Amino acid sequence: MSADRLKSIKDAGVVAVVRAPSASAAVSTADALIAGGVRAIEITFTTPDATTAIGALAARYGDSIVLGAGTIVIPAQAEAAAAAGAAFLVSPGSSPHVAKAMTATGRVVMLGALTPTEVMTAMDMGADAIKVFPGSLGGPAYLRSLRGPFPQAPFLPTGGVNAGNLGEWFAAGAIAVGAGGELCPAAAIAAGQRDVITGNAEEFTAALARARA
C-alpha cells in the first residue's frame, strides 16, 4: 500500500506544505492550492487542530488528492494523523521512537535528513522517502551530490524550492519537491487571499509540466 501511495506522491510532483493559523485556514488554503492544480497537500502539526483539517480534506476530496501530515515530532501525532485520513507522514528529522510510530501506521513515511549519515539513519529506520531539509542550504547541486552514494534513495527536497528552480531540483534527482512559503505564503494565508495561492499553484504546476516535458 505504501508503495502505491509513494507513486502517487511522485506523480503529483509538488507537495504543498501548509502551515496555517487555524484548521479552517488550512482547509481554505488547500482548496486554493487544489484549484491551481497542486494535488499533494501536507498539513503540518504547527497548525492548530491539524487533524481537524486533515479529516475535513479527506472527507471532501478522498482519493482525488494525496493528503498527508507534516512536522511530526512525537509518536502520538503520527497515530492521530493516520486516524484522521493522512496517506503520508513527514518528520523534519529522524528520531527512532517517532519513526517507529510512523512506520507502524502503514502510511508512507518521509524522514528528514541532510547529511549522508542522516540519510543512512533515515533509511535504516524504514523511511519510504528522504525529506532533504532544509534544501536551501545546498540547493540542487547538493542533492546531486547526495545521489552519488545513494542513487536509489527517493529524495524529496523541501525549503528553497520555487517555480523558477523547480526544474533544477528534478534534474538533480528529486522524485518530488516540497514547497511551503513560496507556494502558500503566510501573509496570503492570514489574509485569506485564495487567488494569490491559486496563482502560485498554477505557476508551480506549469513549472512541473515544463520539467517533465
- Residues 6 or more apart from 174 whose CB is under 8 A from it? 143, 155, 156, 157
* Partners of 40 in beta bridges: 15, 66
What is the Cα gyration radius of the chain? Answer: 16
* Partners of 70 in beta bridges: 44
Strand ranges of the sheet holding 129-132, from the earlier edge strand across to the other edge: 155-157, 129-132, 108-113, 88-91, 66-70, 40-44, 14-18, 177-179
Torsion of CA 182, 184, 187, 190, to 10 degrees: -170
H or E element at residue 115: none
210: left (phi over 0), alpha (psi -120 to 50) or beta: alpha
Alpha carbons 63 and 178: distance in angstroms, whole number: 20
What residues act catalytically? 42, 131
At which residue does the C-alpha cell 491559486 appear?
198
* Partners of 68 in beta bridges: 42, 88
